[in-house]
Structure 1
């Protein structure tokens, strides 16, 4: 029987849809902007998938929103091994990184076979650094719930993370990277290696995010030439879309989402609510895959929510080099039904005139 320790960072990812590009130190601001907790629901999805494997499992969890609630909602009967400092009834926003550290130490003492954590890169670092401080190599695996998710210790989706935690046979070492969110909000990305952790060997584990490089001038020029009047374009983050914004002559944000129509920027560095307010009758969401991972939705662009996507067409642009690197495209919108609708073969613009069919898996 496999013993799985489950710990949830309940505030992870709250800043994504409201345009904060992260939640570190921004929980109150995220709430003011109307953010809703994201991590507990993704924890439930992962644990449901874990239970559905049929593998014999023993689940240990921290109390309440830090894991036990999600486990029970998934139909599991967790053994509660501790609770946050604020108590078993702590709400979202009342738990701390110290609680995560304590949960990891308790899991190690209980001899778990794997620690399944729910959060982003900061949570991954908290878990991995705690293990390193104990000189322990218990494998870890992440349910992606943060905004950025740069590290290679996460499943490609909550469901994938749950399946892998229940069924993996081998482990290997992988990097835990994080970035300074204040620099990220200012348009600069500086990755920092925080730890090296042992993780399951699995095809459904995402690769470490790499910054894209190479010229995309022709691609951007062709896209701009083909833009239609009267259409609202929701331009996602990243270097490729940055080149598109430069071609348009607009002062866009490199790591945020900008909304453009007929020569006018309708919203700059927009949150989900800003995008929804700016949409017109005909809308196109334009994205480029994350280098090294292949995600076009759900990594660093949660502002492009299911509500936005259901009112828009989806356009993907990418250099040939980036497509060769990622192989396939991935989506993780937080809405499993929408993810399923988006899967299949999609035409991607790769040059001024050229397109290529790429599978969304």
Structure 2
């Protein structure tokens, strides 16, 4: 019987800042402050909860880990055999996470690297792991924004148990994300994608990045805004449609926004605010300038055009279609909003039936940072 090797990395300081309202625990100073305020380490216990799901497979696994809080304590609590291959510092640092992970991957060649922590820990693992090393995170931090974590410690254990049993387990690359904690404590959400790690693709157990209901709307809107802004180019007129999702982009650009109207942005400045259809045609179509439209789903029926954004005239839309085709009409929406459509297509009702037919088909909708879904557009 083959033995499944597991490398276990626990960041014992992960999650310390949550209970004492520090909104994270990145950095030794923050972790020390959290402990002074009475915070208790949760990560070793959460790692043990995951390992308990492997109790029936003790003779089929071999765990390599770090001393004390880096994993040893968790293995002891779960009653599983283990081998300590790294000692670490006291208190531990990000360097310990990286050095232990590197040793487990490069020297022990583990089948799976299992780690407990938050988004900072995921970044540390990403820094030393190849793109083809299977990993899985046990959620233990304040910020769990990355798609490399299971939805809970028990879920993480169940995924590992499937792998130990040899059950067919697909893998996929998932985003490693992290938030600027300093900005977050000041009420600003600034997320950044650092790369990808290879994780089991068990959808019922592994967290999907930016899925509605699993993260705050603020984070999702920020991610959408980050993706849109990354795509923006100089010397292009950006027609910013109405709605709160588009408003999030304008907020990230630090520009004034007409929530229920249409604005135009050019090289980082609003050049036309609360525009009428005629003003848009004069600025864009009559001048024959390069332009792109940012639009979101309006109304409960899933309309892209014809509900609340009639300023986007058929003439303007035809001009934009000629430049870009339908995927040049940049659509944005949260997955929560799209899920409320219950599989129904997006709708267009421009008042021009030929244009509606031209718009029908498949469109990519930005739902997060480097995250898109394909949806059908139909003319009602």
Could you say whether these structures have the same fold, taking a TM-score greater than 0.5 normalized by the shorter chain as the test?
A: yes
- Structure 1 segments, 4+ long, off by >3 Å, are 52-55, 322-327
* Match status 1:10 vs 2:27: no
Question: Secondary structure in 2 aligned to 1:30?
Answer: helix
> 5 Å matches for 1:297-336?
321=337, 324=340
* Match status 1:103 vs 2:103: no
Q: Which runs of no fewer than 5 residues in structure 2 stay unpaired?
A: 164-168, 219-243, 245-334, 344-380
| Partner Cα distance (1:326, 1:139) in 2 | 34
Equivalent residue in structure 2 for 1:212, among 214, 217, 241: 217
- CA change 1:324–1:155 in 2 (3 A) is farther
Counterpart in the other structure of 1:69: 73
Counterpart in the other structure of 2:252: none
CA drift of 1:51 comes to 2.6
Tell me the TM-score normalised to structure 1 length.
0.55
| Partner Cα distance (1:55, 1:120) in 2 | 30
CA drift of 1:180 comes to 0.5
Q: Which runs of no fewer than 5 residues in structure 1 stay unpaired?
A: 214-238, 240-318, 328-361
> 5 Å matches for 1:237-252?
none
Counterpart in the other structure of 1:58: 62
- CA change 1:325–1:193 in 2 (3 A) is farther
Counterpart in the other structure of 2:319: none
Counterpart in the other structure of 2:191: 191
Question: Secondary structure in 2 aligned to 1:110?
Answer: coil
Counterpart in the other structure of 2:180: 180
| Partner Cα distance (2:342, 2:96) in 1 | 36
* Match status 1:157 vs 2:152: yes
CA drift of 1:79 comes to 1.2
Is the 2:58–2:80 Cα contact (8 Å) retained in structure 1? Answer: no
Equivalent residue in structure 2 for 1:129, among 117, 127, 143: 127
Question: Secondary structure in 2 aligned to 1:161?
Answer: helix
| Partner Cα distance (1:24, 1:61) in 2 | 22
> 5 Å matches for 1:248-263?
none
| Partner Cα distance (2:126, 2:340) in 1 | 31
Equivalent residue in structure 2 for 1:40, among 34, 37, 44: 44
| Partner Cα distance (1:53, 1:66) in 2 | 22
Computing the radius of gyration from Cα coordinates, the structure with the larger value is: 2
TM-superposition CA deviations, 1:59-108 (whole Å, max 9, x none)? 11111110011101101010111110x2xxx4xxx001111111111111
C-alpha RMSD over aligned residues: 2.6
Is the 1:50–1:159 Cα contact (8 Å) retained in structure 2? Answer: no
Question: Secondary structure in 2 aligned to 1:65?
Answer: helix
| Partner Cα distance (1:326, 1:34) in 2 | 46
Is the 1:7–1:100 Cα contact (8 Å) retained in structure 2? Answer: yes
TM-superposition CA deviations, 1:152-192 (whole Å, max 9, x none)? 00011001111212323221111100011011111111111
Q: Which structure's relative contact order is higher, taking Cα pairs within 8 Å and 6+ residues apart?
A: 1
* Match status 1:166 vs 2:161: yes
The number of residues matched between the two structures is: 214
TM-superposition CA deviations, 1:121-145 (whole Å, max 9, x none)? 000110012114xxx5211100000
Question: Secondary structure in 2 aligned to 1:194?
Answer: strand
CA drift of 1:29 comes to 1.4
Equivalent residue in structure 1 for 2:110, among 88, 109, 112: 112
Q: Which has the higher helix share?
A: 2
| Partner Cα distance (1:209, 1:29) in 2 | 30
Tell me the TM-score normalised to structure 2 length.
0.53
